[in-house]
Chains A and B, each alone.
Chain A
Amino acid sequence: MVTIAAEPGTKPAKKTTFQPRPTQTTAIKDSRSYTAFRVFNGIAIVLICAVTLYPFLNIIAQSFSSEGYINAGQVNIVPRGFNITTFEVVMSDPMFWRNYANTVIYTVVATVIAMILTTTMAYALSKKYLKGRTFFIGVAVFTMFFNGGLIPNYVLINSLGMTNTIWAIVLPNAISIFNLLVMKAFFENFSTELEEAASIDGLTTYGILWRVVIPLSKAVIATMVLFYAVQFWNAWFQAFLYLDRRELYPVTVYLRNLLAGATGTEQIGGEAGESTQIASNVRAVTMLLTTLPIICLYPFLQKYFVRGIMLGSVKQ
């Protein structure tokens, strides 16, 4: 990449996500030590990427390998004893599909609830003229640094009668304060002229939010939906804590029980006894299927995640 350093102050017109600074003008040669560093740096980054990807490749390889080769410790990134019967075994378990469907339901419901609460709160708090705004922000932010703790939460959910219902999963984590602050910052930068115009045209606050602000905030809303959806898709502890019936589990808890069964200790509710030695290839396939939607969507959605976190950091 060659960027001619133009007049100072003019920024390159091209909009790239991470373009920290124009590289050195070609007039000055890199010192030898710096060239050596760059080579070393490139190699190091390649190695880091390899290490990052390795566990995924390992899981994929194990999914297609036969158990004998895995137990003999001969599978790394190339499948040995290639077969797809493990997939058939895992997919033939109706409970797996049941729990997978639960995950989808929990994720959708929880994301919808979270988005409604987060958007309305962020919008109201973005209005600087709102009396008591600082107090309400304080109320929200304080919960980031001090929370009730495991036991009081557990006691509360139990006494609300939410145990073994979907509400124990979708309600308690409905507002993420970080997401709230990102959205608030976004709405604060929203053009006031548009809202004023809408208000003069007779729209109420609700109308402005629903017909003007939300349609024009699709980018930030998409990002927030993704953040929440990934969070709820990956969640397991709430479900583990508050659900006792297997048919209610999300797939993460299904997987967790497979792993716990495999280590043979630390089990819940007496099920999955030590005798159930779960084969490594079954575990690998379940892990692969559990995370597959994220891995498949990730390359396309990655830029939204990055954008979301950038929106948040603008504030600082």
Chain B
Amino acid sequence: MTSTQLSPGQQPSRGAPAAAVLAGSGPESKRQRPRKVRKKDLYQGTNRTDTWKHHLKRDWRLYSLLVAPLIFLLIFRYLPMAGNVIAFRRFRPGSNIFGDEWVGFHYIEMFIYDPKFWDVFWNTVILGGLTLAVCFPLPIVLALMFNELRSNTFKRIAQSISYLPHFMSIVIVAGMVLQITSLNGTVNQVIGFFGGDAVPFMQLPEWFRTVYVTSEVWQTVGWGTILYLAALTTIDPQLYEAARIDGANRWQQMWHVTIPGLLPTMVVLLVLNVGTFMAVGFEKVLLLYDPLTYATADIIATYVYRVGITSANFSYATAIGLFEAIIGLILILSANYAARRMTGTSLW
């Protein structure tokens, strides 16, 4: 195999020095895994080849492929990030997107002393926390349940059905929720069957969280099993055999082999879920809530939407949005750090 002499990804026609360096490693290199080639070695003996100029000259076509995507990221991702500066500046609609004059922490103070802000803040924490607590563990349970099925046909059909809601638009899901919880909907039909009185669920603040989390479970649990099922396929069957020889029954096998095998996936998904915890389904809440249920349903994102878009208080809404985004960033960084410290697995 002559190809083993090439460093991975190195194109021979361009990086001629690479072959020269690697050729010296001798026949014993066949047995070893290909040695990690450092750039320093690669360009040994050539003059100043690791410069930007050299790379741009050699790979300019590759860089040219990056131009459009990077411009996209710059305009549609990084400009709005910089646009957050209007949290500290006065902004008039129609003027430039970075605002007109500095006002310092005026808008920050404004929301800190706004009791309404703290209401929506705690609503967000509670709704996000409930969603995390319910929607994180359930896919694991469902994946384990799928794993215990023996009929492959049944399993495949069940999986296909459980993934389906993931592909529905939030508008459709909201429509279904409104239909099913309406006064003449299924839930009230069941209540009526047992002799209860119809409940106008979507108009009662005390029901909003239940309805929201239930719809979230309905939509996400099936699809959430995929990564766990993928992880299950990577568990070495010999571990199960060894466990059986040691006398482990099915429960013990699950506890001592399956669960540890899933742990890295769990950690990664938990980190991701914690990171997006504050960004709980803005679009779904916006579709489902109602002035009658603001007491529990109004979250930071919907408050920002109403303050910013509906009432055109751009700077004030930006300040609140920025606060939320920073909390989100801190959450994911600390969740990642904690995961790495405790389990050795992390996102990066």
Q: Do residues B152 and A146 form an inter-chain contact, with CB atoms below 8 A?
A: no
Binds B, one of A82-90, A215-223, A305-313: A305-313
Asked whether, in the complex, the Cβ of A149 is within 8 Å of the Cβ of B80, the reply is yes
Complex Cα distance, B318 from A44, in Å, reads: 46
A230 contacts across to B, CB distance below 8 A: 167
User: Could you tell me if B164 and A236 are in contact, using CB atoms closer than 8 angstroms?
Assistant: no
Flag if B332 contacts A150 (CB, 8 Å).
no
Kindly list chain A residues whose C-beta atoms are within 8 Å of the C-beta of B91: 155
Task: Evaluate whether A175 and B328 lie within 8 angstroms (CB atoms) in the complex, with A18-B232, A255-B171 already known.
Answer: no
B126 contacts partner chain A, Cβ-Cβ < 8 Å: no
> Chain B interface residue count: which class?
35 or more
Contact A149 B176 (CB under 8 A): no
CB distance from B347 to the nearest CB of A (A): 8
| Chain A residues numbered 273-300 whose CB sits less than 8 Å from any CB in chain B | 280, 283-284, 287, 290-291, 294-295, 298-299
User: Are B265 and A316 within 8 A (Cβ)?
Assistant: yes
Are the CB atoms of B13 and A200 closer together than 8 Å?
yes
Cβ proximity bits A147-187 to B, threshold 8 Å, 1 near / 0 not: 11111111110110000000000011011000000000000
CB-based contact B179/A283 at 8 Å: yes
Do A155 and B168 touch (CB < 8 A)? no
Q: Which residues of B contact A49 (CB under 8 A)?
A: 157-158, 161-162
A155 touching B11 by the CB < 8 A rule?
no
Chain B residues positioned under 8 Å from A262 (CB to CB) = 178
CA distance A170 to B64 in the complex (A): 23
CB contact list, A54-80 vs B, under 8 A? 54-56, 58-59, 62, 70-74, 76
A13 CB within 8 Å of chain B: no
Instruction: Find out whether the CB atom of A146 lies under 8 angstroms from the CB atom of B329.
Output: yes
Task: Give which listed residue, B145, B156, B172, contacts A44 with CB less than 8 A.
Answer: B145
Q: Which residues from 226 to 243 on chain B have a C-beta closer than 8 Å to any C-beta of chain A?
A: 226-227, 229-233, 235, 237-238, 240-241
Say yes or no: A139-B73 contact (C-beta < 8 A), given A55-B218, A117-B68, A155-B86.
yes
Residue from the list A129, A196, A237 in contact with B283, Cβ < 8 A: A237
Q: Mark B77-91, 1 if CB is under 8 A from A, else 0.
A: 111111110100001
B211 at interface, CB cutoff 8 A: no
Is B12 positioned at the interface, with any CB of A under 8 Å from its CB? yes
Contact between A234 and B169 (Cβ–Cβ < 8 Å)?
yes
Q: For the complex, is B155 an interface residue (Cβ under 8 Å from A)?
A: yes
Find out whether the CB atom of B172 lies under 8 angstroms from the CB atom of A290. Answer: yes
Q: Which applies to chain B's interface (DSSP): helix, strand, loop or mixed?
A: helix
Chain-A contact segment, one of B25-33, B108-116, B183-191:
B183-191
With CB as the reference atom, state the residue of chain B lying closest to A77.
Answer: B186
Q: How far is the CB of A167 from chain B (nearest CB, A)?
A: 11
Interface residues of B in 219-261 (CB under 8 A from A): 222, 226-227, 229-233, 235, 237-238, 240-241, 244, 249-251
Contact between chains at B172 and A291 (CB < 8 Å): yes
**Minimal Cβ-Cβ distance residue in A for B163:** A302
B65 at the interface (CB under 8 A from A): yes
Bound together, the chains give a CA A62 to CA B186 distance in angstroms of 11
A124 to B68, CA, bound (A): 12
Most buried by A among B91, B176, B202, B222: B176
Q: Say how far B153's CB is from chain A's closest CB, in angstroms.
A: 10
B343 CB–A CB distance under 8 Å: no
Pick the contact of A154: B68, B182, B309, B329 (CB < 8 A). B309
Cβ-closest chain A residue relative to B227: A313
Contact indicator B73/A22 (Cβ below 8 Å): no
Say whether A148 contacts B77, CB under 8 Å: yes
- Check A241 for interface membership: any CB of B closer than 8 A: yes
Interface residues on A, range: 35 or more
Complex contacts, B62 vs chain A, CB 8 Å: 123-124, 127, 130, 205
> Which residues of B from 1 to 24 have beta carbons under 8 Å from A?
3, 6, 8-15
CA distance A206 to B59 in the complex (A): 11
Which residues of B sit under 8 angstroms from A9, Cβ to Cβ?
238
Within the complex, the shortest CB–CB distance from B242 to chain A, in Å, comes to: 10
CB neighbours of B163 from chain A (8 A): 302, 305-306
The one of A23, A192, A298, A309 in contact with B6, judged by C-beta atoms closer than 8 angstroms, is: A192
Given the interface pairs A31-B249, A209-B65, A306-B226, the reply to whether A287 lies near B176 with Cβ below 8 Å is: yes
Question: Do B328 and A146 touch across chains, with their CB atoms under 8 A apart?
Answer: yes
The answer to whether A174 and B76 touch across the interface, beta carbons within 8 angstroms, is: yes
CB neighbours (8 Å) of B96 from chain A are 159
Q: From the candidates A149, A171, A295, name the one contacting B84 in the complex (CB within 8 A).
A: A149
In the bound complex, how far is the Cα of B159 from the Cα of A217, in angstroms?
A: 26
Chain B, residue nearest A301 (CB): B167
Q: In the complex, are the beta carbons of A159 and B97 less than 8 A apart?
A: yes
A246 at the interface (CB under 8 A from B): no
A59 to B229, CA, bound (A): 31
Q: Which of A28, A52, A283, A313 contacts B161 (CB 8 A)?
A: A52
Selected A-B contacts with CB under 8 Å, 13 pairs: A1-B151, A8-B238, A21-B232, A44-B145, A55-B176, A76-B189, A130-B62, A151-B309, A151-B321, A152-B83, A200-B13, A283-B175, A295-B164
Other than the given A37-B250, A52-B161, A73-B189, 9 more pairs (CB < 8 A) read A1-B152, A5-B237, A117-B68, A124-B63, A127-B62, A152-B97, A252-B169, A256-B174, A309-B230
